[in-house]
Structure 1
Amino acid sequence: MIVVFGVLVFVHELGHFLLARRAGILCREFALGMGPRIFSVKRGETEYTLRLLPIGGLVRMAGEDPEMDVLKPHMEVGLELGEHDRVKRILVNEPRSTSSRVVYGTLISFDLEKQLTILLEQEGESRTYHVDPQAMLVNNGQEAQIAPLNRQFRGKTVSQRFWAIFAGPAANFLLAFVLLTGAAMAYGIPSNEPIIGEVVAGGPAAQAGLRTGDRVLSINGSPVSTWEQVAVTINQSPGKQLNLVVSRNGEELKIPVTPVTEDNVGKIKMTQVIEYSFVESIKYGGMATYDFTMMILTGLGKLVTGGVGLNELSGPAGILQMTGHFATKGFEVLIRWTAVLSVNLGLFNLLPLPALDGGRLVFLGIEALRGRPVDPNKEGLVHFVGFAFLMLLIVVVTWNDIQRLFFQN
């Protein structure tokens, strides 16, 4: 469960991260998991973090940084000067330095977004200092790089912000395509030709005399041209004799077979031919990703129209149980299940709900139409309410999972 979810979340956040970096946005943190940090390492401008709870992740972009709100007028600050007397470190609540490159004074005003200046009062006189665009703010030993407006998320164009947000869900769809294509290359693609592949020893097909390589021409006098026709006819005929005409080595043979009943459908214990093709694997990856997407969208539609109730939804506990079940079926099945979860994660995040990527895209759309952004405070309130709703939904579906796991046979 941790490995599967870790891969899904990593790829989702990597999509956000790469497109944000491409747009020039300062990404302060790339985190896997939520809650307390258990490991972190800083490379360049970004801190890469592993957090305790494996239930999500985040890319923290500059522009919504509580650590940058410590500067207030009339407070005492120190400025460490670098080349050309530009400020390279702003010291707040730090021990007083004796270095000649550190100056102190009372903060009068500052602009760390556009003008990159700090105005200090020193011995009754005002002096303006120019700040390096990559200067560090140091508060109680904690360092944070400043972010001029052109390095902040909100300082980018609507198009750049759109792609930085959309890239997360898009990465999940891409992952699903890659997984399904890789599975097809490794394990083959079931052919829709009406040719028999493996015949299970002792099963009805083997007892009737069917062999690997036989091409089914007709069933009960009705011609067949696809494996789907063969499978549907057999599944719909439990306990009923079927007369198959097959072609074997240029000869047509009539072979009667009676499907046994399993899970209320007919089975004769044979499989279709498996094909291996690079081009067909790519086609399969694309079509399977599309099919899973439409299947999930149909389920979401039923949820909205009332065709599916909240009591039928599963949360993390239910997904954990299903992941464990599919893992016991083999690596191929687990890969396909991971692809389904990846599509589901991508679609869920694109829902136009506050606190999700889709909700943020809605606000970007509104900004594009009206020519100016929505008030950040109002947007933040909407996302907060949406986040609370999502937490409530998680509680509900988790309770569903608990009931199914412990109170139902």
Structure 2
Amino acid sequence: MAYLADVLHFILGYIVPFLLVLTLIVFVHEMGHYLVGRWSGIRILAFSVGFGPELLGYTDKRGTRWKVCAIPLGGYVKFFGDEDPASVPDYSRLDQYSTEDRGRTFLGAKLWKRAATVAAGPIANFILAIAIFAVLFAIYGKPVADPVVAEVKENSAAAQAGVLPGDLLVSIDGTPVTTFDDVRRYVSVRPETPITIQIKRKGELLDLPMVPERTEITDQFGNKMELGIIGILTNQETGNFRLQHFGPIEAVGQGVIESWHIVTGTFNYLANLVTGRMKADQLGGPIRVAQASGQMATIGVAAVLQLAAVLSVSIGLLNLMPVPVLDGGHLMFYAVEAIRGKPVGPGAQDIAFRIGFAMVLMLMVFATWNDISSLLG
């Protein structure tokens, strides 16, 4: 009986939140492709959430098959004239279509329409993230604290640089900071990277150079991660912790800013990965996402939505990478086509798609291995 209870807890606590978050992100991404593709006059054969055998679905009056498939790790929109769900054109059948039908294929559409249709998926992910953040900030507010130091840890980078309790943090590397979280966000993605923090002390501005230490921290759920730390803390009295509320328009602006922070943080992480300042074991796959979904579900709906926003930006950004098979790979081919005045040849595209598929598969295997190692560790 206890075993069944554990299984039920695992399904309801981890699998269900994971599927809800992933389905929302995938649906919005593919809806971006669908809406712009339909607007461009391209016939759409299928809209699928998931891969593999179809579990349920129906065909609308336009001939589009809407379906949910058995493997819920993605989705696709299949256009008329595509060889497969990855939007690889079926050149062998293109000449068999009538002039009217060829105009309704994806390959037969004008270059800018194809590019807009492909880019619409990642853009939809960014819009979703901005919308979620905006709703959260408008309803719940945004927790903020003034960038004033309450405590400096002994022998830390900040202590060695001369930071003292009561110092007001003004800017980092010339970038103004208005909240304590601005400092944390900037420093955390720059381990072992020299920075200069400008502080205000008794009306005097001081520039203090320091190097954030690469430190492994453990969050409230026991997850370990490496971040840059300079060793300063604030508290309720010093930082004046509060919830900052925004009107609808301001909330959207904050949603844009929050989404942009995720984008820049991702690029900073990748740069640190290349330079060896951070480890690749922080790259997570579906298991870690499921784990995070379950953990956020224990906090509340707002936490799950915030995770969905972060993942939506990440998936949108990943899809824009110039790797064949991904949306960014297609956009790369269209850029070449615009320069050359003609499409990349079918043979070259086929080789590129095979290489791209292998790269994506290796990344998935590596991320899943990280997930398993994290669980076992």
Residue of 347, 367, 377 corresponding to 1:397: 367
In structure 2, the residue corresponding to 1:154 is in which secondary structure? coil
What is the one-letter code of the residue matched to 2:320? L
Give the Å deviation of 1:401. Answer: 1.1
Task: Write out aligned runs for 1:4-403 (5 A).
Answer: 4-43=21-60, 44-65=62-83, 112-114=96-98, 148-190=101-143, 228=179, 266=233, 268=235, 272-278=241-247, 279-403=249-373
Q: 1:330 to 1:220 in 2, by over 3 A?
A: same
- C-alpha separation between the residues in 2 aligned to 1:394 and 1:351? 15
What is the one-letter code of the residue matched to 1:114? S
- C-alpha separation between the residues in 2 aligned to 1:154 and 1:111? 12
Q: 1:7 to 1:222 in 2, by over 3 A?
A: closer
Instruction: Among all aligned residue pairs of Structure 1 and Structure 2, give the percentage whose two residues are the same amino acid.
Output: 33
Alignment deviations for residues 89-121 of structure 1 (CA, whole Å, 9 cap, x no partner): xxxxxxxxxxxxxxxxxxxxx975235xxxxxx
- C-alpha separation between the residues in 2 aligned to 1:230 and 1:161? 41
Contact (CA 8 Å) 1:227, 1:272: kept in 2 or not?
no
Higher helix share: 2
What is the one-letter code of the residue matched to 2:118? I
- C-alpha separation between the residues in 2 aligned to 1:163 and 1:396? 31
Contact (CA 8 Å) 2:235, 2:241: kept in 1 or not?
no
TM-score (norm 1): 0.63
Question: Unaligned stretches of 5+ in structure 2?
Answer: 1-17, 151-163, 171-176, 184-217, 220-230
Contact (CA 8 Å) 1:41, 1:47: kept in 2 or not?
yes
Alignment deviations for residues 205-235 of structure 1 (CA, whole Å, 9 cap, x no partner): xxxxxxxxxxxxxx97767999736998xxx
Larger Cα-atom Rg: 1
What is the one-letter code of the residue matched to 1:113? Y
- C-alpha separation between the residues in 2 aligned to 1:55 and 1:113? 33
Q: 1:222 to 1:46 in 2, by over 3 A?
A: closer
Q: 1:307 to 1:357 in 2, by over 3 A?
A: farther
- C-alpha separation between the residues in 2 aligned to 1:361 and 1:227? 38
Higher strand share: 1
Question: Unaligned stretches of 5+ in structure 1?
Answer: 73-109, 116-132, 134-147, 196-203, 205-218, 233-261
- C-alpha separation between the residues in 1 aligned to 2:325 and 2:354? 7
Contact (CA 8 Å) 1:189, 1:281: kept in 2 or not?
no
- C-alpha separation between the residues in 1 aligned to 2:178 and 2:373? 40
Contact (CA 8 Å) 1:176, 1:289: kept in 2 or not?
yes
- C-alpha separation between the residues in 1 aligned to 2:166 and 2:372? 52
Give the Å deviation of 1:376. Answer: 1.9
Q: 1:280 to 1:393 in 2, by over 3 A?
A: same
In structure 1, the residue corresponding to 2:179 is in which secondary structure? helix
- C-alpha separation between the residues in 1 aligned to 2:181 and 2:263? 27
- C-alpha separation between the residues in 2 aligned to 1:221 and 1:298? 30
